[in-house]
Structure 1
Amino acid sequence: MTFDIAILLTQDGLTNGALYALLALALVLVFAVTRVIFIPQGDFVVLGALTLASLQAGHLPPTLYLLLALGGAVGLIDAVACLRSGRAHAVGRVLLIELGYPLALWALCHWLLPLSQSLWLHALLTLAIVVPLGPSLYRLVFQPLAQSSVLVLLIAAIAVHFALVGLNLLGFGPEGVRTAAFSDAVFEIGSMFIASQNLWIVLVSAVLIVALYLFFERALYGKALLATAFNRTGARLVGISPDLAGRLSFAVAALVGTVAGILMGPITTLYYDSGFLIGLKGFVGAIVGGLASYPLAAGGALLVGLLESGSAFYASAFKEVIVFTLIIPVLLWRSLKSHDRGSEE
C-alpha cells in the first residue's frame, strides 16, 4: 500500500466513521432512555435518502402518506385516551396537531416542488417529513410496551424494522438511488484530493455532535433526557414524563438518522433494505461504548469506519465479516471485566 492509497482509505474511513458515530450516539441515547435497542435506526437513514431523492425528482415522497397514516393512528389513540380521562376539550387540539401537521406539509410540498429545485429546500422538507415518524413510532409501538423486558422491546424493534423495509419497497421500489451532492468541488492538497462532499459530511456530523452535546448540557429537555437515562424512576418522581422522554429520544434518533441519510445519499447508492447493515455498523460502535458511553461509542464508530475502509482494500469480499467480527473481542473484554468486578465483590 502506497502513502497516497493510505490517505485515500483514511479519508473514506473518517467520512464513513463520522456517519456511523452519529448513529452510534443515537442508539446509545435511545437505549439509555427507553431500553430499546433501536434496530430501525438505519432505516431512518434510508428513509432520509429515498425521500430526498423523490423530492429531487419532483415527486411527492411516499413517506408523506406514511406520516399521515401514523399521525392519524396516533391522533385516534390520543383522542380516545383524552375522552376516557375526561379531557374532551383536548381532543380537537390533539387531532389538529397529529393530522393538521402532515396535511399542511403535504400541501406545502405540493405547492413548492414545481417552484423550486433548491437542494437545501429539499433537505429541509426531508427533515420535516421523516423526523416526526420517530415519535409516532414510539407512541404506537414502544410506549404501550414501556414496562416490558428488553427482549420484548427488541422483538418489537425488529418487527418495526421489517415493516419499514416492506413499506420502503412498496413506496419507493427496488431500485437504488443516489442524491445530488451538496458540492462537486475537489480540493487538491499536494498529491491528495479531497472531495468537498466528504468535508460536508465530516463538518455537519461534527456540528450535529456539538449541538447534541449543548442540547444535553444546556437545554431543559436535554437535561430531562439525561435524567431519565440515568435513573428512570427518579426522573418520574421529580415530574419528568417517561413518555415525553421516550418520544423526544426517538425524535433525536430520527433526526440523526435523517441527517445521516441526506449526507450519505450522494456518496453511496442506497436501496430500500440498506438500512440494516448501516444501522448495524453504528450498533458495533455503540457496543464498544457498552451502550452507555457516548465518547466511547463515537470512537468505536470511527474505528468501524477505518476498519471497513481498510478491509475494502485488502479483502473487499469479507469487509462486512471483518467489521462485525470486531464485536467479539469487545464483548469478550466486557465479559471478563464484569467477571473481575464480580470476583472483587
Structure 2
Amino acid sequence: MDFSIAGILALDGLTNGAVYALLALATVLLFAVTRVIFIPQGEFVAFGALTLALMQTGKVPGTVWFLLALAAAAAIADIAEGVRHRHGGARIARQLARTLGLPIAVSLLAIWAAPQKFPLIVQALITLALVTPFGTLIYRLAYEKLADATVLVLLIVSVGVHFALMGLGLFFFGAEGFRNPSFWDARFSAGPVAVTGQALIIFMASLALIVLLWLFFERTLSGKALRATAVNRSGARLMGISSSAAGRLAFTMAAFIGALSGLLIGPTTTVFYDSGFLIGLKGFVAAVFAGLASYPLALVGALAVGLLESFSSFWASSFKEVIVFSSILPVLLWRSLTDPHGEEH
C-alpha cells in the first residue's frame, strides 16, 4: 500500500464515518433520554434513501402509505385511551387532530409533489418531512407505555420493532434497490486523492448538524429539558418535565437524523429495504465505543469505525464486516472490567 492508496482509503473511511457519527449521536441521544437501545435506527436511513429514490422516478413513495398506516394505528390507540379514561368527545377530537394532522398534511403534499418531479433539494426536504414523523409514532406505539420497563425489556421490544419495520419496508418499498443522484457532481484533486462534491456535502452536513445539536442542547429550553431527563428522569418529572414528551422529541430527532443520513449515503451506495440494518449497526458500534453516554466519544468512535471498515475492505474485503463488528468485543470487555456493576432500578 502506497501513500495514494492510503489517502483514498482514509477519505472513504472518513466519509462513511461522518454518516456513522450521525447515527451514533442519535443512538446515544435515545439511550440517554429513554434508555432504549434503538436497533431500528438504520431503518430510518433506508426509508429516507428509498423515499427520495422513488420521488426521483415520479412515483408516490410507499412512505406515504406507511406513515398514514402508523398514524391510523396511533389514532385508534388515542380513541381507545379516551374511551377507557372517559374523556369527552371534544378532548378526543383534539388529540386525533394532533395525531393525524401532520402525517395527513405531509402525505398530501408528497402525493401532489411526486409527479411534479421538483428539483432534488425540494424532494429531499419533502423526504425529511415524510420520514421524521415516524419517530414520534413509533415511540407512541411501541415504547411510551413501557417507559419505566427495564433496559432488557426495551431492547427486546427494539428487536421486535426492527423486524416489523423491515418486513413492512419490504411491503411498502419492494425488494428493488435504488441509488440516488449526487447532490453535487463536482470533483476536486488534492494530490493523489480526488474529493467528490458529495463527500464534501456529507462532511458539511454532518458538521452542521452536530453544531446545531450542540446549540439545541445548550441554548434552547427543549434541549435543556432533554438533558435534564437524560441526567435524572425522576428529578426531571419533579420539575414538571414530561418524560413522554421528552421521549417523543428524542425519537423525532432520531428519525430526522436517520432520514438525513439516508439522503447523504444514498448517492454512495445502492440501498435496499434492509440495507439500513448494517448501516445502523455500525453507528451502534460507534455508540458503544462511547459507552452510550458521550457524544464526543461517539463521534470519535464513528470515524474509527469508518476508517477500520475502509482499510479492512482493502486488506480483507470478504471479512470487513466481521472485523468491524468484532472490534466491539475488546471495548465491551474493557468496560465490563472497569465499570462498576450495579442493580438496575
Q: TM-score, normalised by structure 2?
A: 0.95
What amino acid maps onto 1:181 in structure 2? S
Asked if 1:235 corresponds to 2:240, the answer is no
Shift of 1:228: 0.3
- Per the alignment, residue 2 of structure 2 pairs with 2
Residue identity in the other structure for 1:234:
G
Aligned 1:1-345 pairs, distance under 5 A: 1-83=1-83, 84=85, 86-338=87-339
Q: CA deviation at 1:69?
A: 1.3
Q: TM-score, normalised by structure 1?
A: 0.95
Q: Which AA in structure 1 matches 2:40?
A: P
- Per-residue deviation, residues 62-83 of structure 1 (Å, max 9, x unmatched): 1111111111221232244345
**Sequence identity, in percent?**
57
Query: Once the two structures are superposed, what CA deviation does each residue of 1:278-314 show, in whole Å capped at 9, x if it has no partner?
Result: 1111111101110111111111111000000000000
CA RMSD, 1 decimal: 1.5
Distance 2:124 2:78 in 1: 30
- Which range moves more in the overlay, 179-188 or 329-338? 329-338
Q: Distance in 1 between matches of 2:141 and 2:116?
A: 36
**What SS is found at the alignment partner of 2:268?**
coil
**Aligned AA for 1:139?**
R
Does the 8 Å contact 2:187/2:196 carry over to 1?
yes
> Deviation digits for residues 134-161 of structure 1, max 9, x if unmatched?
1100001101111211111111111111
Whole-Å Cα distance in 1 between the matches of residues 10 and 175 of structure 2?
32
Deviation at 1:326, TM superposition (A): 1.0
Counterpart residue identity of residue 90, structure 1? R
CA distance in 1 between counterparts of 2:53 and 2:70 reads: 22
In 2, Cα distance between the equivalents of 1:267 and 1:197?
Answer: 8
Deviates more, 1:89-98 or 1:300-309: 89-98
CA distance in 2, matches of 1:275, 1:301: 16
Deviation at 1:85, TM superposition (A): 5.3
SS of structure 1 residue aligned to 2:292: coil
* SS of residue matched to 1:193: strand
Write out per-residue CA displacement over residues 105-158 of structure 1, whole angstroms, 9 at most, x where no aligned residue: 232222223334310111111111111001100001101111211111111111
Aligned length: 341
The Cα shift of 1:232 comes to: 0.3
Gaps of 5+ in 1: none
Letter in 2 for 1:36: V
Q: Distance in 1 between the 2:321 and 2:259 partners?
A: 23
Aligned equivalents of 1:65 and 1:110: distance in 2? 10
5+ residue gaps in structure 2?
Answer: none
Q: Post-superposition shift, 1:43?
A: 0.7
Distance across 1 between alignment mates of 2:34 and 2:236 = 13
